[in-house]
Structure 1
Amino acid sequence: MTTTIPSTMTGVYLPGTSSTERREVPVPTPGPGQVLVHVGASGICGSDIGYIYRGYKTHKGVDGPAYRGVVSGHEPSGRIVAAGEGVRRFGVGDRVIVYHIAGCGLCDNCRRGFYISCSSEARAAYGWQRDGGNASYVLAEERTCVPLPDELSYVDGALIACGFGTAYEGLRRIRVSGEGDLLVVGLGPVGLAAGMLGRGMGARRVVGLEPSTGRRSWAEGLGVFDATFHPEELSAAMDLTGGRGYGFTIDASGTAPGRSSALDGAAEWGHVSLVGEGGELVTEVSDTLLHKQLTLHASWVTSLPAMTELAENLVSWGLRPEAIVSDRFALEDSDAAFALAAGASDGKVVFVADGDV
């Protein structure tokens, strides 16, 4: 497969002023162990909005900007068009998802596949400390590539790269199955992913809590939620279980009230997963936790093996992540894309390449 690779491309940068900048930059050449990926789709993540787009001064307790003025975007998916020396597992023409952290590969967390928790100073996130996917091409370490099945689109792959991976790991931790109902708190992109995956994993009933009318409507249109409610209607959601509560709950809201709803909505002996970033966990302990015998799990993204497993499972379950995408943009429309993702989008916002992706 021969592809003509241009010498320059447009990359989207985030100056931290709730705006974007498009710059013409060189197309990189892969070095040893690296591949050049022609980006088919790249998602906009909620973590990009606060910490980079809006220019918040701290990220996960680290003072100063974590973003180092690179091409933005940590959710790329595409096709390999060039490979450097020593690349062995992947090759030109392969369709891949790019796991969004390049870890050292040697520390304990990396050896477990959790590059997200790499403890080395060499750790670098695409779109944060190294150039990311909001461009025509992204230079990736071969070790961060995950196979994208032919049955899935590049948009599917972009969503797996972060949001669906995050939701999947959170649900894996609490072992969602047909033995209980699932309550999803917060129906942004990660919550929508959790609802879809919960259905694939066999939850008896999937119910969502979300304050936004637009997002509740969008979620109901996906056909994976049995019902959605405003958080103030938690009692009505509990009625669907005969008052027993939900065997599995997951908070994707990242808010103190949302986390409280996930705890309050859990049944006795229930399992609660926390995946939403930021905020606080505020709870009464005895009646809410101890007397209900709850198990709490905290989860940060997912591992490389689990992301590979997720892509394969989506095919077997007949599920397409792109169903949660409400808006698609070209890179030239980066201002509008980020503004929508930071405001009133009902579902996921993605950049897509020209052609069928």
Structure 2
Amino acid sequence: MRGVVFRGNREIGIMAFDDPRPGAGEVVVRMKASGMCGSDLHYYRGNPSEMLKARGADSLAAHGVDPDAPVIAGHEPCGVIEEVGHGVDPRHFKPGDRVIVFHYEGCGYCDSCRGGWTQMCDDGPAAHGVMKHGGHADFIRVPASSLVHLPQDLSFAAGAAISCGTGTAFGALARLDLSARDTLAVFGLGPVGLSAVQLAAAMGVEVIGVDISAERVARAADFGAANAIDAGQQDAVAEIRKLTGGRGATCAAECAGGEIARAQAIRSTAPWGRIALVAMGGNLNVDGMKDLIAKQRTVIGSYTTSIMGMKQCARFIADHGVGVDALFTDRWSLDQADEAYRAFDRQSGGKGVIQF
């Protein structure tokens, strides 16, 4: 089979790999869609081998990972089961089933793994596309326990989005315990932020979108934002207060990354505000007394979602007709992977997906 490999320093290779065969408790999935996520760019731009070695020899050994061996990229896989291994109950998963892949593997025994939060495994998780072969290939081999059925009325591309970016947004909204009584400010209108806008709007929440890109701000209304603010031209905190009668939003989701956006997300909320920090990278630099304690605000760290959260996200999107496919501005074939990542690296468009 073919697989896309990040060689480092913005170089990509399409290599030949043996077709995978499932072991006990495993399945092989024929890929139909593999999403491109912003976190992929760290490995595309950097040195994947050195980045793996930085995780520590014990962590790599626990998962049988050779940091110098090529790893197939892509951690947003969705497809159709091709073959199942011994011990996989056909009442749950069988060839032909449409499935989303939860892209982490763990020990399977610690409390985090048993609770569906494999990315928090006590022994350290192994993410597909980083330590384990990912979805930018014709096939992927994964534990059957990492699968969720893709509802029939959702596309494979939608399933790929749910497997990471859109699932991450859903997880953050769940942590915020949103209801239709809330007003939500979403900072950062990339794929995760726009997913948060879409999902919150479908929950009946009034959403205010914030970004420094005029193009992204212009798209926010199409995804359900009641208002959108260009933070490159306006004071986002002041504008949110104007839109909320001087009170501030009841909740905020920070999906941009960086100290400025995180501080603004906190300061844009009313007393008792709830803030989810979602984006990777960037420190939190606020006045502990003035911005947090005196306002009785709650700051939550939200790291992707659980496998049950991914399942609930897929079901919510199907039941409410959320147009997740609109996130994708670029669709590519596997043979176009180099062109796809060169375009993605400019970060001037929306979300990309490799389709099979």
Common fold: TM-score over 0.5:
yes
Checking the alignment, whether the CA contact within 8 Å between 1:15 and 1:53 is kept in structure 2 is no
Spell out the pairing of 1:68-83 with structure 2 (5 A cutoff). Answer: 69-83=70-84
5+ residue gaps in structure 1? 1-8
Cα displacement string for residues 55-83 of structure 1 (whole angstroms, at most 9, x for unaligned residues): 37658x84799876310001000000111
TM-score when scaled to structure 2?
A: 0.91
Q: Which moved more, 1:193-202 or 1:150-159?
A: 193-202
Checking the alignment, whether the CA contact within 8 Å between 1:19 and 1:338 is kept in structure 2 is no
Change (3 A) 1:153 1:140: same
- Residue 30 (structure 1) shift: 1.1
Determine whether 1:263 maps to 2:266. Answer: yes
SS in 1 for 2:346: coil
Cα displacement string for residues 104-156 of structure 1 (whole angstroms, at most 9, x for unaligned residues): 211110011101111225x3211111111001111111010011000101000
- Residue 267 (structure 1) shift: 1.0
Task: Please give the alpha-carbon distance, in whole angstroms, between the structure 1 residues aligned to 2:262 and 2:21.
Answer: 45
Task: Please give the alpha-carbon distance, in whole angstroms, between the structure 2 residues aligned to 1:227 and 1:118.
Answer: 39
Equivalent of residue 32 in structure 1, options 2, 24, 36: 24
Determine whether 1:312 maps to 2:308. Answer: no
Determine whether 1:250 maps to 2:253. Answer: yes
Spell out the pairing of 1:166-177 with structure 2 (5 A cutoff). Answer: 166-177=168-179
C-alpha RMSD of the superposition: 2.0
Spell out the pairing of 1:1-357 with structure 2 (5 A cutoff). Answer: 9-55=1-47, 58=51, 62=55, 69-88=70-89, 89-120=92-123, 123-203=125-205, 205-220=206-221, 222-231=222-231, 232-234=234-236, 235-353=238-356
Number of equivalences: 342
One-letter amino acid of the counterpart of residue 12, structure 2: T
Checking the alignment, whether the CA contact within 8 Å between 2:6 and 2:43 is kept in structure 1 is no
Checking the alignment, whether the CA contact within 8 Å between 1:173 and 1:273 is kept in structure 2 is yes
One-letter amino acid of the counterpart of residue 350, structure 2: G
Checking the alignment, whether the CA contact within 8 Å between 2:28 and 2:81 is kept in structure 1 is yes
- Residue 298 (structure 1) shift: 0.4
SS in 1 for 2:246: coil
Q: Which moved more, 1:227-236 or 1:127-136?
A: 227-236
Task: Please give the alpha-carbon distance, in whole angstroms, between the structure 1 residues aligned to 2:43 and 2:288.
Answer: 32
Task: Please give the alpha-carbon distance, in whole angstroms, between the structure 2 residues aligned to 1:51 and 1:117.
Answer: 21
Give aligned-pair identity as a percent.
Answer: 36
Task: Please give the alpha-carbon distance, in whole angstroms, between the structure 2 residues aligned to 1:339 and 1:293.
Answer: 45
Task: Please give the alpha-carbon distance, in whole angstroms, between the structure 2 residues aligned to 1:346 and 1:215.
Answer: 9
Task: Please give the alpha-carbon distance, in whole angstroms, between the structure 2 residues aligned to 1:252 and 1:167.
Answer: 9
One-letter amino acid of the counterpart of residue 105, structure 2: A
SS in 2 for 1:129: coil
Checking the alignment, whether the CA contact within 8 Å between 2:81 and 2:94 is kept in structure 1 is yes
- Residue 201 (structure 1) shift: 2.2
Change (3 A) 1:345 1:27: farther
Task: Please give the alpha-carbon distance, in whole angstroms, between the structure 2 residues aligned to 1:90 and 1:39.
Answer: 16
TM-score when scaled to structure 1?
A: 0.91
Cα displacement string for residues 78-98 of structure 1 (whole angstroms, at most 9, x for unaligned residues): 000111111112100100000
5+ residue gaps in structure 2? 61-66
